[in-house]
Amino acid sequence: MKANILAIESSCDDTSAAVIQDGNVLSNVTANQKVHEAYGGVVPELASRKHQINIIPVVDAALKKANIEASELNAVAFTKGPGLLGSLLVGVGFAKSFALGLGLPMIEVNHMHAHVLAHFAEDPKPAFPFLCLTVSGGHTQIVLVKDYLDLTVLGNSIDDAAGEAFDKTGKIIGLPYPAGPHIDKLAKEGEVKFSFSEPKVDGLDFSFSGLKTSILYFLQKQVKEDPTFIDKELANICASVQQSIITILMNKLKKASEMYGITEIAIAGGVSANSGLRTALAKTAQELGWNHYIPRFEYCTDNAAMIGVASYYKYLAEIFCNQSVKAEARMAF
Ligand code: KG4
Ligand code: ZN
């Protein structure tokens, strides 16, 4: 018999549902929330309200697209955390009621594990052990992946995440939220003209708050001398900021590869959609003989397919949770 899993993701501002059959993605439907754009960041209260509106239509659409009836499901998977508590509660509450109503087992999934395991949604798949740089709006991690259920964080951001560095810098220069994709686009039209110092952080940990501050001070100084500086230099500022973030990420990834002697290298999370980072990874991979893996855009940003794929390996290992499970905003890895 085939294993059909309905997966739910609602950790931040995307409401997503997917149907996974024997580890393969049959459908992956995501409703994005535009409501936050006007605020320059995700407003938690508005996000949970939108999830409530979107969750049933999104689940219906995922089941229809997969051509699977609710009665054909074998399990319900959901994001337990980390994320915004109000957002997570909508997904967890929905998954509990749905599973209870249909008498299905439930599988809790760690959102950051899922970003890594998104690599198993389709070919080519990395071979174990591999290193994954997970870069999103909330996290920056280097993860050692020895098996589907054996993941260890080797390095973390001690302050802002890489995505936040893009978004916060974007806000300073007047770009809409989330600024990452806008900086990516503008960077292509500019050149790396300005440099910002790389933070000194021990081991495989990251820091991005110093970079944000040095960009802010640099721009304040320039604007004082020429109020039109940001407008005139926008593309060059974007290219320079993007390059600084990429340099920080790539240097730590190279260090991790050297330390662990691993040349199977993957990137995951929303920031892995960045074209500059993708190019830098491909170039380094060629220079250093790495096999590198970058998920398709659909599987980089938040999506339920990655939750479903991650849950499939727990399903095989018969790791289920019960109805007393609760959402966790700060969930240990
Ligand atoms: O993984 P994700 O969708 O959500 C979280 O779990 O946080 O990541 C969202 C982050 C945002 O900070 C967004 O600006 C960034 O990913 N992002 C990008 C690009 N596309 C999305 N950053 C740089 N370049 C991009 N093309
Ligand atoms: Zn994410």
Express each pLDDT in 259-270 by its tens digit.
Answer: 999 999 999 999
Pick the most confident of 7-11, 31-35, 137-141, 297-301.
7-11
Nearest alpha carbon to residue 277 among 255, 245, 299, 301: 245
Is 171 found in the same domain as 289? yes
CATH number, domain with residue 33: 3.30.420.40
Q: Does position 1 have pLDDT exceeding 90, yes or no?
A: no
Which phi and psi (to 5°) does residue 116 adopt?
-65, -45
Q: How many angstroms is it from 7 CA to the middle of ligand 2?
A: 15
pLDDT in tens, 150-165: 999 999 999 999 999 9
Any domain includes 333: no
Is 244 found in the same domain as 210? yes
Angle at 92 between CA 91 and CA 93, to 5 degrees: 90
Question: Left if phi > 0, otherwise alpha if psi is -120 to 50, otherwise beta: which for 34?
Answer: alpha
Which chain residues have CB less than 5 Å from ligand 2, an ion?
A: 136, 302
Interior/surface letters 57-92, b for 16+ CB within 10 angstroms, e for the rest: ebbebbbeebebeeeebebbbbbbbbbbbbbbbbbb
Is 146 found in the same domain as 257? yes
Is 135 found in the same domain as 280? yes
Q: Does position 226 have pLDDT exceeding 80, yes or no?
A: yes
Is 144 found in the same domain as 105? no
Any domain includes 330: no
Q: Give the residue, out of 10, 141, 166, 172, with the most ligand 1 atoms within 8 A of its beta carbon, to mutate for a pocket test.
A: 166
Is 141 found in the same domain as 53? no
Atom number, ligand 1, closest to the C-alpha of residue 161: 12
Is 135 found in the same domain as 32? no
Q: Is 302 in the pocket of ligand 1 (CB under 6 A)?
A: yes
Please report the pLDDT score of residue 99 as a whole number.
98
pLDDT in tens, 171-204: 999 999 899 999 999 999 999 999 998 888 999 9
Please report the pLDDT score of residue 242 as a whole number.
98
Any domain includes 322: no
- Cα–Cα distances (Å) from 250 to 125, 142, 174, 206, 303, in that order, read 21, 11, 27, 11, 25
Is 246 found in the same domain as 144? yes
Structural domain span for residue 45 = 4-116+300-316
Is 154 found in the same domain as 256? yes
Please report the pLDDT score of residue 223 as a whole number.
96
Is 213 found in the same domain as 103? no
Residues 6+ apart with CB under 8 A from 98: 6, 59, 70, 76, 104
Any domain includes 142: yes
More confidently predicted of 281 and 35: 281
> Largest alpha-carbon pair distance within the chain?
70
CA atoms of 308 and 117, how far apart (whole Å): 10
The proportion of the chain whose per-residue pLDDT surpasses 70, expressed as a percent, equals 100
Is 291 found in the same domain as 304? no
pLDDT in tens, 2-44: 899 999 999 999 999 999 999 999 999 999 888 888 787 888 9
The structure's pTM equals 0.94
Q: Is 82 in the pocket of ligand 1 (CB under 6 A)?
A: no
Is 214 found in the same domain as 131? yes
